[in-house]
Structure 1
Amino acid sequence: MTQTVDINDLLERLSVFNNQFSHIKRVILDKQKLNSSTVNLISIIGNETMTLKQITEISELDKSTISRQINGLVKEGLVIRETGKDKRFSFFELSEHAKMMYRQYQEDFKDYFDHTLKGWTEEEKHMFSVLVGRANYSMSNALDKQIK
C-alpha cells in the first residue's frame, strides 16, 4: 500500500532542517571568524589563480560586489593579488592562511555531520545522500523550467 505524503509537513521539515543547517553554519563561521561571502569566494578560488571576471562569472554576483569583497580579502591577507603583464588585469589566488582556514572550516563541518549522523547505518547515510541529491536535481530542473 502506497503512503501519501503531506507536502505541507514535508515543507515544514525542510524549513526546520534549513534553519538548523544555517544555525550550525553561522556557529562554525563565527568560530573561524569568517563570514559566508568570504567562504564563498575562498571556495570559488580554491587552488586556482583567477581574474576578477572569472570569479564574477562563477559567483553570479555583480562585478562591483565581488571587487569590494576581494579587496577586503586582500587587505586581510587571505587573497594575494598579482598584476598581470597587461596592467588592466589582476590575478587572485588564496594565501596559505586562507587555505588553512578553509580546511579547518570544512573539517568542523565534517565533524558536526559525523556527530549528527552518529548512530545511522551506512545504508541510512547512503539513502540520505541519494535523496538529497535527487531533491537538488529535481529543484534545479524545476527552476530551469520556470525561468524559461
Structure 2
Amino acid sequence: MEKDNLEVILEQVRLASETASGIVVLGDFNLDSQRSRDESYSRRLLLNRLVEGMKNAGLNYAATPPTWRSYGRFAGVHRVSWIDHIYYSGVEANVKVLEEAITDHQDVLAQIKCNKKKVAKSIVKRNYKKIRQSDLEAALSLWP
C-alpha cells in the first residue's frame, strides 16, 4: 500500500512538472533520506524510488539537519533521522530546522521565493497619420 501511495504522489509530481513553472513538495515521508545506501534499512527501496521519482521530475532535495530525534537515549545518545523532506523546482528554497520541537519532529521552516513572471503590458497607440478619412467618417456616422 505504501508503494502504491508513493507511486500516486510521484505521478502527480510528474504531471505537475510538465506544466508548472514552480513546484514544492514537502512533508513527513517517514523515509530517512540519509540511508539510501544502507542495506540494513528496511525502507531503502521506497526511499530510493522517492528520490528517483523526484529527480526524474526535475526536483531538487533541500538538505536539512535531522528532523526527528528519539525521546529516549540509546547507548547514551538520541537516535536521529531525516524523515521530513522538501523537494522543489523553479523556485528558491531556504530551509531551516528549528531548535525547539513540540512533537517528536523538529519544526522545519521553509522560505519559498516564487519567481513571479512579469506580464508584458500591451501598449496601444493610434497612428493618425495612416488613417483614411473615409473610414473615420464611416465609423463616426455609425456612432450613436
**Larger strand fraction of residues:** 2
**Larger helix fraction of residues:** 1
Bigger-Rg structure (1/2): 2
Shared fold, TM over 0.5: no
